[in-house]
Amino acid sequence: MTGSMLHLSGLDKFYGSIDHGVQAVKNFSMTVEKGEIIALLGSSGCGKTSTLRMIAGFESVSRGQIFIAGREVQNLPPVKRNVAMAFEGYSLYPTVNVRDNIAFALKASRLTGVEVAARVDGVSQMLEITDILDRFPSTISGGQQQRASLARALVRQADLHLLDEPMGQLEPQLRTLLRGRIKHYIKEAGLTAILVTHDQTEANALADKIAVMEEGVLQQYASPSEIKNRPANLFTGTFVGEPPMNVFPANVSIEGGIFRLHLHGGLELSYNESDFAQPVRERMLGYRDVVIGVRPYAVHRAATGAAAIILVNQWLGDQSHIAASFAGKTIVLVEHDRSAGAEGELIFLRVHPSDLHVFDPASGKALSHGKELA
């Protein structure tokens, strides 16, 4: 608790009364260390924005505690929390130009005029807004306002920087360029930032850790690669990853040293017993019926294997997305070449044992990832 920059303990948020209201956030606990960038990721209505607004102080806390830099703050007004914010609707001062809007954030600091100007220039260059510094907020576009507001937040030194969909209004080309730069800037300045986004590419690109939320509940809180390689449950597995993870119900059996996953329609994926560690085999056999998950990049075409028929082959410039009819469902595979594969073509699919994710069909909880237990 002390030592960490942010600690959320058992946060609940009800809109309306605790007995009859709608619960937007459920028993949410999380710790953020100094210098970390955290993304709250989820679809609309998952509770991510409510969580951020509670940290900022814009929304009351129904139950639980918030500690910022060791101080308990849930009953303090926003200005007393020492947080810098870029929120939609948390608008720029309309009566001063963009430069002064950004510089205003440094008013309380003891910097000289020259130092303030240098900081404002630095952040403006990073966000490509040097050309609008003399303009007034009402005369610039939505995307420019968003970057000005982001500059005003990032130029400050605060305990926490809270960013709500910071690039939501920007054109995709600018977004790709800026996400790398913003990360670099936050790291150089040693800031601690929490951003809310529904865009997983942005979360992956910017964050050290992603908090995946669904229906008010924190589903997983881990690094992007951990979430990709070891999704905690079916929700995280299928929500994070583009194209989404393929999932199929399967029935497990071992006979004569061959480990088989029986899929719908008589198809099977077969492995040597030794492809999986003993505890993994035992756990899968203990369940019998499981759900297997395979990422589209891990489905490979081979000379033999389980049969599938190509439905669509869509080439997107740097990769091809192939959808095929497989085990009563559609399976998606990704190839990096502009590969052949015509509609109606018969192909054979293989999945390497280390790319196989196995889930409990009842709870959705992960049972194993490749050769290891979940």
Partner 1 sequence: MSLQLKNIKKKFKSDNVIDGVTLSVESGETLVLFGPSGAGKTVLLRLIAGVIEPDLGEIWINGQNMKGVEPEERGIGMAFQNFALFPHMDAAENIAAPLTARRQSSTDITSTVEKIAKLLKIEHVLHHKPKELSNGQKQRTALARALSAEPSVLLLDDPLRNVDAKLRFEMRLELPRLLKDQNATVIYVTQDYKEAMAMGRRIAVMSNHSIQQIGTPADIYLRPANLEIARLFGDPVINLVNVRPESGPDGITVLISGMPITLNGFEAAIGRECILGLRPESLNFVVEHTTGAFAVDIETETLLNEKIVTLAVTRSGEEIMISRPANMPGAVSGRAWLSIMTSNALLFDKLTGNLLTPNLMDAAA
| Binding-site ranges for partner 1 (CB under 8 A) | 43-45, 171-173, 176-177, 179-180, 183-184, 198, 200-201, 204-205, 224-225, 228, 238-239, 241-244, 295, 297, 311-312, 314-318, 321, 323, 330, 332, 334, 336, 338
Q: Judged by CB, which is closer to partner 1: 135, or 228?
A: 228
Q: Tell the smallest beta-carbon distance from residue 296 to partner 1 (Å).
A: 8
Q: Judged by CB, which is closer to partner 1: 8, or 207?
A: 207
What Cα–Cα distance (Å) separates residue 153 from each residue in 15, 111, 186?
A: 28, 16, 11
- How far, in Å, CA of 62 to CA of 287, rounded? 39
What Cα–Cα distance (Å) separates residue 297 from each residue in 64, 99, 246, 374?
A: 41, 46, 10, 21
Q: Judged by CB, which is closer to partner 1: 72, or 242?
A: 242
Q: Judged by CB, which is closer to partner 1: 239, or 276?
A: 239
CB atoms within 10 A of CB 97: 19
Q: What is the largest CA-CA distance in the chain?
A: 79
Q: Tell the smallest beta-carbon distance from residue 235 to partner 1 (Å).
A: 11
SS (H, E, C) 220-249: EEECHHHHHHCCCEHHHHHHCCCCCCEEEE
Q: Tell the smallest beta-carbon distance from residue 91 to partner 1 (Å).
A: 22
DSSP symbols for 67-96: EETTEE-TTS-GGGG-EEEE-TT-PPPTTS
Q: Judged by CB, which is closer to partner 1: 164, or 214?
A: 214
Q: Judged by CB, which is closer to partner 1: 206, or 252?
A: 206
Token readout for 186 is: 């936050």
Cα 345 to chain centroid, rounded: 36
Q: Which residues pair with 290 in a beta bridge?
A: 250
Q: Tell the smallest beta-carbon distance from residue 174 to partner 1 (Å).
A: 9
- How far, in Å, CA of 148 to CA of 130, rounded? 10
CB atoms within 10 A of CB 253: 14
- β 329-335/320-326 pair status: antiparallel
Q: Tell the smallest beta-carbon distance from residue 81 to partner 1 (Å).
A: 30
Token readout for 274 is: 């030794």
Q: Judged by CB, which is closer to partner 1: 57, or 293?
A: 293
Q: Judged by CB, which is closer to partner 1: 19, or 171?
A: 171
Q: Tell the smallest beta-carbon distance from residue 242 to partner 1 (Å).
A: 5
Q: Tell the smallest beta-carbon distance from residue 19 to partner 1 (Å).
A: 24
Q: Which residues neighbour 279 within 8 Å (Cβ) at sequence distance 6 or greater?
A: 373
Q: Tell the smallest beta-carbon distance from residue 237 to partner 1 (Å).
A: 11
